[in-house]
């Protein structure tokens, strides 16, 4: 059964009578159970005060890509309060923030965007015969072991291969494979 939450007015009355040292008489005066008067609120008190939480939120706004461990160290250096990563994450969730992995996308600078727009404007009126004469190509890197995240520092160089292909209006080229730094990569691809 869910317990009923006390109103703010009733809480204030209990606190005022408690300060007057009424003790057990509080429950009789307000017609509530004695345990309600004597009980502390459940749970551990929060480590961070509201001011420290505001400081943490400002820190997150300044450094959007900081990890919870970095934020915990920053809070400790600024306030002297030692907090865990879990405390930081719970505080951020309570304040409406969540942790996200950064989206992987190419870094487009203003000069790149301008060049893309110029290319699109220059070729918008081209007919179908022009586009049929273009050779399209693409390539991708395939790593054999692990991922190639930008936030990771590689310590061991493992094998990888580069796959390159192209197509034209009337034909498709062969896929070209380039191998780097591992005989295992060559062995796996040759068996396919």
- Residues 26 and 56 occupy one common structural domain: no
- Residues 65 and 88 occupy one common structural domain: yes
Number of domains in the chain: 3
Instruction: Give domain status of residue 179, yes or no.
Output: yes
Instruction: Give domain status of residue 74, yes or no.
Output: yes
Bridge partners for 179 per DSSP: 161
- Residues 137 and 164 occupy one common structural domain: yes
As a whole number of angstroms, the distance between CA 99 and CA 66 comes to 10
- Residues 30 and 57 occupy one common structural domain: no
- Residues 19 and 69 occupy one common structural domain: no
- Residues 88 and 136 occupy one common structural domain: no
- Residues 142 and 168 occupy one common structural domain: yes
Q: Provide the domain limits for residue 30.
A: 8-38
pLDDT (0 to 100) of residue 188: 39
Cα dihedral angle (7, 13, 17, 19), rounded to 10 degrees?
A: 90
How does pLDDT run across 17-52, given as a tens digit for each residue?
A: 888 888 778 888 888 888 777 766 677 888 999 999
Kindly tell me if the per-residue pLDDT of 124 is higher than 80: yes
As a whole number of angstroms, the distance between CA 149 and CA 22 comes to 64
């Amino acid at each position: 059964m869910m317990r009923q939450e006390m109103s703010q007015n009733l809480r204030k009355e209990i606190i005022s009578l408690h300060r007057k040292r009424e003790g057990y008489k509080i429950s009789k005066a307000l017609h509530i159970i004695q345990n309600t008067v004597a009980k502390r609120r459940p749970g551990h008190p929060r480590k961070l005060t509201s001011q420290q939480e505001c400081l943490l939120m400002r820190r997150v706004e300044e450094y959007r890509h900081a990890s919870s461990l970095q934020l915990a160290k920053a809070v400790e250096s600024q306030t002297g309060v030692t907090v865990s990563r879990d405390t930081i994450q719970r505080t951020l969730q309570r304040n409406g923030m969540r942790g996200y992995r950064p989206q992987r996308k190419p870094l487009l600078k203003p000069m790149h965007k301008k060049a893309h727009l110029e290319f699109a404007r220059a070729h918008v009126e081209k007919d179908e015969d022009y586009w049929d004469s273009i050779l399209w190509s693409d390539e991708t890197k395939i790593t054999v072991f692990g991922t190639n995240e930008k936030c990771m520092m590689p310590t061991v160089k493992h094998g990888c291969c580069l796959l390159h292909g192209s197509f034209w209006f009337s034909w498709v080229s062969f896929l070209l494979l380039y191998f780097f730094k591992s005989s295992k990569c060559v062995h796996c691809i040759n068996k396919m």
